[in-house]
Copies of this chain bind each other. A is one copy, B any other.
Amino acid sequence: MKGFLSFLILWLVHKRNMTGAEIALELEKRKGRRPSPGTIYPVLKHLKGAGLLSIDESKCYSLTKRGRKELEAHLNTFFQTFCDIDEMRSCRKV
């Protein structure tokens, strides 16, 4: 299950181009806790280094073409891994 943080970050940036701080805020909204700078910036650096994210002058990240491809692949494995996600959801609703 390694690579899930990267996957989620790709997804967030896909929805809207964001700065590191905005990504951290969004992760806080979702996970209940703001990731520390030591979590977020190294991942962003790695993703940029891997050619999946690009960054503009105002430090705003966006997906590259490779990033979009990678996100697509991650989405496929995600839904295959959690193939019974509806069952998981209804289980929770009890």
Residues of B within 8 A of A17 (CB): none
Q: List residues of A whose CB falls within 8 A of some B CB.
A: 1, 4-5, 8, 11, 14-15, 30-32, 72, 75-85, 88-89, 91-92
The answer for the CA separation of A48 and B87 in the assembled complex, in Å, is 25
* Cβ-neighbour of A88 out of B32, B75, B81, B84 (below 8 A): B75
* Cβ-neighbour of A81 out of B30, B75, B89 (below 8 A): B30
Residues of B within 8 A of A15 (CB): 84
The answer for the CA separation of A4 and B81 in the assembled complex, in Å, is 11
| Nearest chain B residue, comparing its CB with the CB of A87 | B15
* Cβ-neighbour of A31 out of B30, B81, B89, B92 (below 8 A): B81
| Cβ B83 vs Cβ A30 within 8 A | yes
The answer for the CA separation of A92 and B69 in the assembled complex, in Å, is 11
* Cβ-neighbour of A85 out of B31, B81, B85, B91 (below 8 A): B85
Tell me, rounded to whole Å, the shortest Cβ–Cβ distance linking A59 to chain B.
23
